[in-house]
């Protein structure tokens, strides 16, 4: 098909179309809505053979999606932010059904205060549900990840749902050139889904999602989900190799940028990683051996890859576009947990940035590199802090005055 200028949302829709999904229950929410509108249009004009329904809430939507998956249909759904939280209960439920639903979450800051800009508290809220999580930096990656998500989810060694995440606005509404793969090639990468474990058929009755009483039995089922999720890291290598062979693009579980001889590392996820990469490039020009590590998978957590990539580095700064109120950055905690037992572990710094879509400026990246270098020199790591500039403080001060705050 060649390259087209596509938004992240259209790229996601293309992924769904090329995966020849059977069923899409939907519910609108900004900034995700363009995905479902695009799919609805294709179904209406006959360019996509699927069933589409607008549900009455995200809770119902995720239920319908999971139930269709449990019936044996290849199913897609998508939401954002409040919508994801409204359906939260069903995220856990559907994961427990062990069905290969693929969902796109278009990240948006959580209420309250209600807002529109992106950050990752929504997707990280469902971190422990059993859904695998792939976080994307580019529109191309969104399309490709939807295809890889189905391969991974439907693999009988995994059979867990997958959530593909992109930033609202900065990816969802941003157009860039995206290669739209050929459908025949997609078919060779992603064969038709033929469920062996979860379906509804007259000839083979099955009770799914049943109650499990007793901690010892419950533990078994929950831990099997964990083992399946961990398996996904191995299986993904096959998926990744096949994808590269067929489409010529390669996505590892972690994305490493200028990491080889790097000493000072930024850890970031999603679209702002591009800003981080630019900052690394500039730092290199200034003679700082900088690098960037972007985990693409947050669940399963690519522990050994991260350990390996950060071995011997002087300092690592985690920029969390999220905040666990009362603790700080979520990914910082995860990284700390990952590295703690490493003998040759780097110093670990924590910064909260980009909440609600707040920009992370060149100045702020420079500040981070300075902090890493000084921590490395002195061995003293300063406590976690919010990236916030003087002009931003002036801005909010003005607003407070208008709001009548003394």
Give the residues lining the site for another protein (CB under 8 A): 22-23, 25, 49-51, 53, 55-57, 59-61, 63-73, 75, 89-90, 93, 96-98, 156-157, 159, 192, 196-198, 200-213, 217, 220-221, 223-224, 227-228, 231
Q: Report the residue number, 114 or 220, with the smaller CB distance to another protein.
A: 220
Inter-residue contact 269 to 135 (CB < 8 Å): yes
The backbone torsions φ and ψ at residue 328, rounded to the nearest 5 degrees and listed phi first, read 125, -145
CB of 148 to another protein, least distance (A): 19
CB of 104 to another protein, least distance (A): 18
Alpha-carbon distance values, 375 to 315, 369, 380, 400 (Å):
8, 10, 5, 35
Q: Report the residue number, 209 or 384, with the smaller CB distance to another protein.
A: 209
Q: Report the residue number, 41 or 201, with the smaller CB distance to another protein.
A: 201
Inter-residue contact 287 to 280 (CB < 8 Å): no
Instruction: Look up residue 239 and give its two tokens.
Output: 């998926």
Whole-angstrom Cα distance, residue 239 to residue 157?
Answer: 12
CB of 195 to another protein, least distance (A): 10
Q: Report the residue number, 104 or 315, with the smaller CB distance to another protein.
A: 104
Inter-residue contact 278 to 110 (CB < 8 Å): no
Tell which residue, 40, 37, 35, has the closest CA to residue 143.
35
DSSP state of 192: P
Residues 6+ apart with CB under 8 A from 376: 263, 264, 314, 315, 347
CB of 203 to another protein, least distance (A): 6
CB of 219 to another protein, least distance (A): 8
Alpha-carbon distance values, 129 to 7, 61, 126 (Å):
28, 17, 5
Q: Report the residue number, 66 or 291, with the smaller CB distance to another protein.
A: 66
CB of 217 to another protein, least distance (A): 6
Tell which residue, 258, 264, 299, 276, has the closest CA to residue 353.
276
Q: Report the residue number, 88 or 247, with the smaller CB distance to another protein.
A: 88
The backbone torsions φ and ψ at residue 340, rounded to the nearest 5 degrees and listed phi first, read -55, -45
Q: Give SS3 for 304.
A: helix
Q: Report the residue number, 77 or 81, with the smaller CB distance to another protein.
A: 77
Q: Report the residue number, 174 or 208, with the smaller CB distance to another protein.
A: 208
Angle at 289 between CA 283 and CA 294, to 5 degrees: 80
CB of 320 to another protein, least distance (A): 31
Whole-angstrom Cα distance, residue 283 to residue 271?
Answer: 19
Q: Report the residue number, 41 or 157, with the smaller CB distance to another protein.
A: 157
CB of 79 to another protein, least distance (A): 14
Whole-angstrom Cα distance, residue 395 to residue 328?
Answer: 24
CB of 158 to another protein, least distance (A): 8
Inter-residue contact 180 to 14 (CB < 8 Å): yes
């Amino acid at each position: 098909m060649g390259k087209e200028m596509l938004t992240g949302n259209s790229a996601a829709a293309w992924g769904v179309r090329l995966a020849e999904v059977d069923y899409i229950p939907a519910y609108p929410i900004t900034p995700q809505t363009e995905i479902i509108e695009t799919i609805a249009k294709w179904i209406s004009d006959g360019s996509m053979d699927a069933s589409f329904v607008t549900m009455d809430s995200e809770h119902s939507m995720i239920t319908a999606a999971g139930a269709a998956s449990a019936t044996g249909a290849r199913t897609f759904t998508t939401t954002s932010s409040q919508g994801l939280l409204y359906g939260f209960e069903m995220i856990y439920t559907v994961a427990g059904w062990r069905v290969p639903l693929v969902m796109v979450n278009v990240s948006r800051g959580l209420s309250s205060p209600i807002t529109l800009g992106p950050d990752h508290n929504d997707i990280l809220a469902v971190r422990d549900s059993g859904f695998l999580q792939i976080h994307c930096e580019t529109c191309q990656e969104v399309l490709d990840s939807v295809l890889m998500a189905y391969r991974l989810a439907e693999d009988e060694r995994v059979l867990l749902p997958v959530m593909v995440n992109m930033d609202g606005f900065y990816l969802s509404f941003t157009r860039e050139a995206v290669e739209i793969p050929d459908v025949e090639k997609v078919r060779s990468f992603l064969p038709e889904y033929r469920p062996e474990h979860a379906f509804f058929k007259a000839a083979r009755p099955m009770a799914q999602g049943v109650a499990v009483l007793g901690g010892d039995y419950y533990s078994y089922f929950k831990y099997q989900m964990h083992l399946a999720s961990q398996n996904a890291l191995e299986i993904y290598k096959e998926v990744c190799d096949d994808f590269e062979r067929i489409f010529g693009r390669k996505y590892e579980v972690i994305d490493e940028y200028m990491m080889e001889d790097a000493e000072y590392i930024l850890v970031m996820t999603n679209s702002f990683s591009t800003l981080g990469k630019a900052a690394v490039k500039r730092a290199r020009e200034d003679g700082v051996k900088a690098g960037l590590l972007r985990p693409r998978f947050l669940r399963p957590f690519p522990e050994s890859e991260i350990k390996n990539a950060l071995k011997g580095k002087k300092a690592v700064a985690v920029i969390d576009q999220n905040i666990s109120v009362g603790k700080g950055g979520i990914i910082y905690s995860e990284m700390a947990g990952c590295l703690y037992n490493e003998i040759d572990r780097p110093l670990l710094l924590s910064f909260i940035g980009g909440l609600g879509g707040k920009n992370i400026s060149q100045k702020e990246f420079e500040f981070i590199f300075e902090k890493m270098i000084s921590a490395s020199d002195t061995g003293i790591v300063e406590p976690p802090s919010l990236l916030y500039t003087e002009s931003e403080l002036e801005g909010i001060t003005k607003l407070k005055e208008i709001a009548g705050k003394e």
